[in-house]
């Protein structure tokens, strides 16, 4: 039973660290988008115009979903 609790704690820790990392990345992208909307002429604003910002956000959402699925699968497999 002790081994199962340790695996659960490790999986939970990985899940929360990855979640906070994704929140930090989304916050940074949001701040970048606000700077670009204010009219600041940054080089990255020119590169991120159009589809690329949306594509980055979609890829991050998909990676977050894959991470959740992997953590749940790990917990289910290790519980047996």
* pLDDT tens readout for residues 18-62: 888 888 888 888 888 888 888 777 787 777 777 777 788 888 888
Q: What is the structure's pLDDT at 56?
A: 83
Q: Give the pLDDT score at 79.
A: 66
Q: What is the pLDDT of residue 3?
A: 65
CA distances from 7 to 3, 10, 11, 52, 74 (A): 6, 5, 6, 38, 9
Is the distance from CB of 45 to CB of 35 less than 8 angstroms?
yes
State the residue range of the domain holding 66. 2-78
The total number of structural domains in the chain stands at 1
Distance, CA of 67 to CA of 15 (rounded, Å): 8
What is the pLDDT averaged over residues 53-80?
81
pLDDT value of position 4: 64
- What are the CA-CA distances from residue 53 to residues 36, 40, 43, 49, 63 (Å)? 12, 17, 14, 7, 15
């Amino acid at each position: 039973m002790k081994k199962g609790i340790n695996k659960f704690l490790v999986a939970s820790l990985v899940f929360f660290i990855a979640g906070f990392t994704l929140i930090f990345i989304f916050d940074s992208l949001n701040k970048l988008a606000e700077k670009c909307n204010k009219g600041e002429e940054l080089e990255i604003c020119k590169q991120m115009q159009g589809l690329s910002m949306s594509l980055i956000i979609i890829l991050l959402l998909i990676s977050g979903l894959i991470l959740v699925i992997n953590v749940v699968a790990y917990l289910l497999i290790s519980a047996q």
